[in-house]
């Protein structure tokens, strides 16, 4: 059974490249975590106007969620780009594994009949 | 899969204009080139706040103060977009900042020149940001996804910077004799350093070939420099000012402007740390970091206290 999801410690960054706490170097990380003065990393999602989805815009460091929201306002909405902000600590993001993409999305590949253009209808049929 | 096979797939993606995302396999050298380039770009935005910050309190009117303040705040934002993009390549923010403070990482040499008069703020917006925009517009199509996305965001904000700079000079160019002289003097001092921003000649540049093949860069240093000269040589006429280059001339045959040779000795000397303000800039950055230590600690302590209070409630 393939494992289609992989944990990425730093948002988009694979665990073995993330530095800090990963399964591989958990022991090392306990020591460095205390020394590191970096605040946690947050992924920022912004709704640009009422009726639209929140969309990922980037990331930033902040001590906690409230400060992440305030920083996100200053970094990502200086020109009225948003009316609502979501912040998620990057370490909580789980992502599909790009190495498995071929198998993972394969089931949808041969099902062209799921698209309306698959069906040839006479021109006489209107409004369909 | 062997590294050679992975490299072949990687290059095929690049050739097909498929963006590389952080989780995708990439050659270590590609990763390192990007860490070097994107962090250098981020540092340039942050150090770039210093010469302009110098004029916030001395800008000639409330309007100009507000504009300059907004511009410097933008530069801070641009630095942050780029630091985040660097981080997706697997280096910590702390390490990237440390590399700047230790002198290991470079930033654009242009910010090692002083801002002596108000006209310099105009010249920076017009020439320095103008040069940066050419480079950044190219980079919106760079092969690494997070870098390209940061560039799109930056380019949207950057054009206000260039226009406000030109407008500062335009107002001065219509002013008193002293103001017109101040305008010309700023252009004289910023012209050559702006041309240097594009880096060494293609024949001398150590990073260019591989960067072009990987589509990190999509135009060469000399190509970008030529488009800059062609653009500015026309715009300067609107100001009724002159560029300080006796060899600058329209060349009918090539369809471009010919221009004089850059003083490469000066270029390398500033890169190596001997420009007029190198030491001052680095000191200012280190001091800002050290004096901000208590803020970082206080924020961490406050967030701890807040979460303890929430848990108790």
Angle between helices B145-173 and B62-87 (to 10 degrees): 160
Cα separation of B261 and B238, whole Å?
Answer: 25
Contact A64 B306 (CB under 8 A): yes
The pLDDT, as a whole number, for residue B159 is 87
- Decide if pLDDT at A2 tops 80: no
pLDDT one-digit tens code per residue, A36-92: 568 999 999 999 999 999 999 999 999 999 999 999 999 999 999 999 999 999 999
Q: In terms of CA atoms, which chain A residue is nearest residue B93?
A: A38
Contact B74 A78 (CB under 8 A): yes
Cα separation of A66 and A71, whole Å?
Answer: 9
Contact status of A19 with chain B (Cβ, < 8 Å):
yes
pLDDT one-digit tens code per residue, B237-262: 999 999 999 999 999 999 999 999 99
Share of chain B above pLDDT 90, in %: 93
The pLDDT, as a whole number, for residue B313 is 80
- Decide if pLDDT at B41 tops 60: yes
Structure-model confidence comparison of residues B205 and A67, the more confident one: A67
If you compute the radius of gyration of chain A from its CA atoms, what whole number of angstroms results? 21
Contact A13 B84 (CB under 8 A): no
Q: In terms of CA atoms, which chain A residue is nearest residue B76?
A: A75
Q: In terms of CA atoms, which chain B residue is nearest residue A96?
A: B23
Contact status of A104 with chain B (Cβ, < 8 Å):
no
Min distance A120 CA to chain B CA atoms (Å)? 33
Contact status of A81 with chain B (Cβ, < 8 Å):
no
Mean pLDDT of B47-73: 96
The pLDDT, as a whole number, for residue A17 is 43
Contact B91 A59 (CB under 8 A): no
Structure-model confidence comparison of residues B210 and B254, the more confident one: B254
The pLDDT, as a whole number, for residue B207 is 66
Share of chain A above pLDDT 70, in %: 71
Share of chain B above pLDDT 70, in %: 99
- Decide if pLDDT at B231 tops 80: yes
Min distance B294 CA to chain A CA atoms (Å)? 11
Pairing relationship of beta strands A54-61 and A5-7 according to DSSP bridges: unpaired
- Decide if pLDDT at A4 tops 70: no
Contact status of A9 with chain B (Cβ, < 8 Å):
no
- Decide if pLDDT at B217 tops 50: yes
In B, which residues are within 8 Å of A14 by CB distance?
A: 22-23, 90
- Decide if pLDDT at B286 tops 80: yes
CATH 3.40.1260.10 describes domain A15-98: no
Contact B299 A79 (CB under 8 A): no
- Decide if pLDDT at B1 tops 50: yes
Contact status of B77 with chain A (Cβ, < 8 Å):
yes
Pinpoint the alpha helices (H) of chain A.
Answer: 15-18, 26-35, 65-76, 101-109
- Going from N- to C-terminal start, the domains of chain A cover 15-98
Cα separation of A74 and B116, whole Å?
Answer: 30
Q: CA dihedral in degrees (B55, B56, B61, B67; nearest 10)?
A: 120
- Decide if pLDDT at B148 tops 60: yes
Q: Which of B73, B81, B88 sits opposite A13 (nearest CB)?
A: B88
Question: Are the CB atoms for B14 and B214 separated by under 8 Å?
Answer: yes
pLDDT one-digit tens code per residue, A8-44: 444 444 444 434 333 343 333 333 443 456 899 999 9
Question: Which of B9, B92, B146 is the best substitution to test chain A (most A C-beta atoms within 10 A)?
Answer: B92
Contact B303 A67 (CB under 8 A): yes
Q: In terms of CA atoms, which chain B residue is nearest residue A73?
A: B77
The pLDDT, as a whole number, for residue A36 is 54
Contact status of A14 with chain B (Cβ, < 8 Å):
yes
- Decide if pLDDT at B235 tops 80: yes
Model confidence, pTM? 0.88
- Give A 31-50 residues with CB within 8 A of chain B: 36-39, 41
Mean per-residue pLDDT of chain B: 95
């Amino acid at each position: 059974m393939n494992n289609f999801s992989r944990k990425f410690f730093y948002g988009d960054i694979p665990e073995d490249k993330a530095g800090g706490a990963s399964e591989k170097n958990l022991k090392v990380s306990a020591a460095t975590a205390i020394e590191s003065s970096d605040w946690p990393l947050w992924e920022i999602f912004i709704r640009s106007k009422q009726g639209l989805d929140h969309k990922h815009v980037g990331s930033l460091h902040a001590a906690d969620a409230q400060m992440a929201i305030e920083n996100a306002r200053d970094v990502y909405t200086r020109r009225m780009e948003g009316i609502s902000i979501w912040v998620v600590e990057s370490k909580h993001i789980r992502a599909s594994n790009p190495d498995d993409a071929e198998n993972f999305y394969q089931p949808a590949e041969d099902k062209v009949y799921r698209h309306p253009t698959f069906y040839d209808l006479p021109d006489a049929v209107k409004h369909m | 899969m062997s590294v050679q096979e992975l490299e072949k797939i990687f290059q095929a993606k690049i050739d097909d204009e498929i963006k590389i995302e952080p989780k995708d396999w990439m050659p270590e050298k590609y990763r390192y080139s990007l860490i070097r380039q994107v962090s250098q770009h981020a540092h340039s935005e942050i150090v770039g706040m210093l010469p302009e910050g110098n004029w916030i309190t001395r800008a000639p009117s409330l309007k100009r103060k507000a504009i300059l303040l907004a511009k410097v705040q933008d530069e801070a934002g641009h630095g942050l977009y780029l630091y985040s993009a660097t981080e997706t390549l697997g280096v910590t923010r702390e390490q990237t900042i440390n590399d700047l403070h230790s002198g290991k990482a470079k930033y654009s040499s242009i910010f090692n020149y002083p801002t002596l008069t108000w006209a310099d703020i105009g010249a920076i917006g017009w020439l320095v940001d103008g040069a940066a925009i050419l480079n950044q517009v190219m980079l919106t199509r760079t092969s690494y996804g997070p870098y390209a996305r940061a560039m799109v965001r930056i380019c949207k904000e950057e054009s206000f910077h260039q226009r406000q700079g030109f407008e500062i000079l335009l107002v001065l160019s219509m002013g008193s004799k002293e103001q017109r002289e101040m305008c010309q003097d700023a252009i004289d001092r910023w012209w050559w350093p702006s041309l240097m921003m594009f880096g060494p000649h293609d024949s001398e540049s150590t990073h260019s070939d591989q960067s072009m093949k990987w589509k990190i860069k999509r135009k060469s240093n000399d190509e970008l420099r030529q488009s800059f000269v062609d653009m500015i040589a026309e715009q300067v006429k609107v100001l009724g000012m002159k560029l300080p280059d006796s060899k600058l001339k329209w060349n009918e045959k090539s369809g471009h402007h010919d221009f004089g040779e850059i003083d490469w000795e000066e270029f390398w000397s500033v890169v190596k740390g001997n420009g007029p303000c190198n030491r001052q800039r680095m000191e200012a950055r280190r001091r800002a970091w050290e004096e901000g230590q208590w803020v970082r600690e206080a924020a961490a302590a406050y967030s701890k206290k807040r979460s303890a209070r929430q848990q108790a409630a």
